[in-house]
Structure 1
Amino acid sequence: MAHNANKDEQRYTDDNYQGARHSSYVPGWMVGTFQGYNPVHHATIRMTINSDGQMTATVDGHTLRGWINNGELHVGDEIFTIAESRDGFITSQVGDRQNQVAYHRVR
């Protein structure tokens, strides 16, 4: 038990540790600021993902917050799968694959 307790303590000094509600690391290619266009909602989205998994997005002047967990984007009650692309990633809403957005890195 002492060995495992010591290992658990080390995670809190690791800058990449995602905290209690995160079960996986956020890959480096996913960290940064990205922009995409949602054709279903006719909206431009500017999204920033931090290394701790926190996500902030601006959509038509509104701010949305969410987080990355297990390779998925969680925003409110919605979950989006994430697939890496050449210069960013593509999100697809679980349960509505038509709601898909391709993001490219801007920073």
Structure 2
Amino acid sequence: MTTRVDIRFEFPAPSIPLPPETREAFVAALRARPGAWALMGQHSSPGAARQTAYSIRRAVRTRCFRPAGAFEAEAKSVMGEHRVYVRYVGQDAARASSEVTAR
């Protein structure tokens, strides 16, 4: 028995940073659906994806993800694509996170 596999050959897309207004719209959509994961984008390397996820979790470099801890972010490599997924967990999660680190 032969298994048929559909394969699409293409070069990986380059990393394209989101302009501030697009990032703010993305964050507004996440805040409207707390707890739902969304694909933020793809990166050229696993390290770049991990760094972006870290920056989102810690709310560094981008004000729209503040306060730190209000968003969860995960870097995942799927079939050679390095993706960042983000979800809004709320202000309470951010407060609890800052209380734990203050101890």
Instruction: Give the shorter-chain TM-score range.
Output: under 0.3
State the structure with more CA Rg: 2
What is the TM-score with the length of structure 2 in the denominator? 0.27
| Larger fraction in strand | 1
Greater RCO structure (CA 8 Å; 6+ sep) = 2
What is the TM-score with the length of structure 1 in the denominator? 0.26
| Larger fraction in helix | 2
